[in-house]
Amino acid sequence: MPPLPPPAVQTSGLTRHYGSLAALSQLDLTVQKGDLFGFIGSNGAGKTTTLRILATFLLPSAGSARVLGYDIVEQADNVRRLIGYMPDFFGVYRDMEVTEYLDFFGACYKIPTAQRERTVQDVIELVGLSEKKGALIGALSRGMQQRLGLARVLVHDPQLLLLDEPASGLDPRARIEVMAILQELQRLGKTIIISSHILSELQNLCNRVAIIEKGKMIYTGPVQGVRDQFEAGRVFWVKVADAHERAMDLLRARPEIAGAEWKDGRIRAVLRDREADPGCVAETLVRGGLKLVGLEEEELGLEEVFLRVTRGETQ
């Protein structure tokens, strides 16, 4: 069989010290090509440091990292040509027009003049700024400026996008629109690493995530995997026609069920572990002669899982 292509990002033992402070400690991270990868952590956890190292703005104190097959230290120029980095706060030339601003950065990337005009129009259309292309940047809303920042990193058609809190400070509608743009970019074949505190949106946006705290990796893998790994047992919400106390007594008597309690007009039944057969909930109640009205499994959101597995520790 032909060899597998290298990952988009591969780090090994990546470490960064600021004096005696370890901002990153032995970070092993793999991002495959085509991933829309969520990088999750509290402020000070090490997310921005990681992205800045991958973008070649910071040198690691120890360890190594390769981006699209290139070493970030020895082959930094090759890396820079293939990535687009958008920091959480970026400056703009407020007295420039949108088209003029993007044309300027296209020239910085040495895109030929004839090609540059078409490229600028394409990225403006992609990020939904067509109606603002003649506007002064200083007159744009925060959401529009975030779109412009995204357009800027797309001008040279990078293969990998490193986006540090791209939805920071946006209203709900603007956040939804930015996330929709990222999904379209993934569909076009881009690999995207996005750090964010808006975990409910990453849950539906990303196919893989990494959770980092105090510079150390806690989890990396599929979104569903983080729930499976850190949720002790599955939770079911049960409704019966009557005899709630008896229903709870029956459930508590089953060895597979860790507990049952009355909450918000329903019974909350917790299985002892994830290997337990969920069918035992309905079976117990029906065999006990009770009328089962409703049975629904609770799905933990990414935000709740994050709160359970981290301590909120920062550097």
- Annotate 43-53 with b (16+ C-beta within 10 A) or e (fewer): ebbbbbbbbbb
Say how far apart CA 247 and CA 290 lie, in whole Å: 7
The C-alpha atoms of residue 18 and residue 121 are separated, in whole angstroms, by: 42
Fold of the CATH domain 232-299: Alpha-Beta Plaits (3.30.70)
As a whole number of angstroms, the distance between CA 138 and CA 165 comes to 21
Q: Which phi and psi (to 5°) does residue 45 adopt?
A: -75, -25
Q: What is the pLDDT of residues 240-292, one digit of tens each?
A: 888 889 899 999 999 888 888 998 889 988 887 766 777 888 888 888 888 88
* Domain boundaries of the chain, sorted by first residue: 9-228, 232-299
pTM: 0.78
Contact present, 107 and 175 (Cβ < 8 Å): no
261: enclosing H helix or E strand: strand 257-263
How much of the chain, in percent, has pLDDT values that exceed 70?
89
Task: Find the angle CA(272)-CA(273)-CA(274) to the nearest 5 degrees.
Answer: 140
Compute CA 148 distance to the chain's CA centroid, rounded to the nearest angstrom.
Answer: 21
Higher pLDDT, 173 or 186: 186
Averaged pLDDT score across all residues of the chain = 87
Can you read off the two tokens belonging to residue 83? 């990535």
pLDDT in tens, 185-204: 999 999 999 997 667 767 77
- Coil/strand/helix, residue 271: strand
Both tokens of 259, joined, read 């507990």
Q: Is the pLDDT of residue 303 over 60?
A: yes
Q: What local confidence, expressed as pLDDT, does residue 211 receive?
A: 87
Q: How confident is residue 36, by pLDDT bands cut at 50, 70 and 90?
A: very high
CATH code at 9-228: 3.40.50.300
